[in-house]
Amino acid sequence: MGVKEQRWILTAQCPSRLGTVDVVTRSLAETENYIVTMNSFDDKATESFSIRVEFRPLGGEHSLEKFRELFDARAAGFDMQWQLTEPDHRTRTAILVSKYDHCLNDLLYRYRTGELAIEIPLIISNHPDLKHLADWHGIPYFHLPITPETKPEQEGKVWRLINEYDCELVVLARYMQVLSSELSAKLDGWAINIHHSLLPGFKGAKPYHQAWAKGVKLVGATAHYVNDDLDEGPIISQGVQAVDHNHYPEDLVAKGQDIESQTLARAVRYHTEKRVFLTGDRTVVFPD
């Protein structure tokens, strides 16, 4: 097996203007940085430009320093916001969970095997049930019970822990609590939630059982960024699977949980690989 190539990632956004691709590619070439892959998109609806480039510096740190200096000046002329991500960067990720363990289990497996470029410094839950999973992985587990009366205090503790552990991403892995407007605003754009997607929509208790009673033909899941609109944040990834009359409620639950796990993991990977760009309430997601 060959050695994995060390690639830096450049991401940038700016208003739509002539020459945006050229200023990126020319700056990389002139400073001896070799482009391996590139995705770009000009959004006519928002008149915004997004670009993601994976590259390798042919001259090592010298190439990187030359690029930073040159591109910083050129990007300013395009009102371009840009970021460089190191090849070995692992995003510090806080996981919030309640009692369902399927999404947490899946994320922990992908974290343990290195499939996801994340570090998990802590897990937060409003129940004690999944502490054994955190203990097995050697991850601190914080049990923070919540009631309507203690919600502001509990969310204050959650926010302090996220900051104390220097988290760059928050994942709601079936965290069965509605976040307050205050906490949602703080996490806007860097917290990912997962929920089932059933058509027609079924709300309340046992949605898969409700869906079965109506003879649903599709089950799915949606992963999106958290904002103050409940389950209506910018969508990162979705999954769907056909079902039929042979599937009973417990079958729908099992299939739904599997799709939720896969969809959430894919959204986390897209985010950590810098493939997701926010343009208002929508996302641009570059494929791998």
- Residue 199 is predicted with a pLDDT of 63
CA angle, corner 171, sides to 161 and 198, nearest 5? 145
User: Is the domain of 169 the same as that of 112?
Assistant: yes
Q: Report the number of distinct structural domains present in the chain.
A: 2
- Of 165, 177, 172, 179, nearest in space to 122 by CA: 165
User: Is the domain of 37 the same as that of 166?
Assistant: no
Q: Is 2 a residue whose pLDDT tops 60? A: no
- Residue 105 is predicted with a pLDDT of 98
Select from 34, 52, 85 the last residue of a domain.
Answer: 85
User: Is the domain of 248 the same as that of 154?
Assistant: yes
User: Is the domain of 155 the same as that of 123?
Assistant: yes
Domain range spanning residue 201? 91-285
Whether the model clears a pTM of 0.75, i.e. scores above it, the answer is yes
User: Is the domain of 68 the same as that of 124?
Assistant: no
**Does residue 162 contact residue 177 with C-beta atoms inside 8 Å?**
no
Considering the domain boundaries, does residue 2 fall inside one? no
Least confident interval from 65-74, 129-138, 229-238 = 229-238
- Residue 7 is predicted with a pLDDT of 94
Helix (H, G, I), strand (E, B) or coil at 266: helix
Least confident interval from 33-37, 174-178, 225-229 = 225-229
Select from 33, 50, 85 the last residue of a domain.
Answer: 85
User: Is the domain of 168 the same as that of 117?
Assistant: yes
The active-site residue, picked from 43, 231, 251, 258, is 231
- Residue 230 is predicted with a pLDDT of 67
- Residue 87 is predicted with a pLDDT of 95
- Residue 15: pLDDT band (50, 70, 90) is very high
CATH number for the domain spanning 187: value is 3.40.50.170
Q: Residue 128 is encoded by which pair of tokens?
A: 């004690």
Q: What is the 3 state secondary structure string of 71-91? A: HHHHHHCCCCEEEEECCCCCE
- Residue 287 is predicted with a pLDDT of 87
Give the model confidence (pLDDT) of 163-188 as tens digits. 999 999 999 999 999 999 999 999 99
CA–CA gap between residue 192 and residue 189 (Å, rounded): 8
CA distance to 24, 49, 66, 254, per residue, from 12 (Å): 9, 8, 18, 40
By percentage, how much of the chain surpasses pLDDT 90?
87
* Between 281 and 65, the higher pLDDT residue: 65
Select from 85, 119, 143 the last residue of a domain.
Answer: 85
Active site residue 231: yes
- Residue 200 is predicted with a pLDDT of 72
Q: What is the rounded average pLDDT of the residues 258-275?
A: 97
Helix residue ranges per DSSP H, 61-196: 61-76, 102-113, 131-137, 151-164, 181-187
The mean of the pLDDT values for the chain is 94
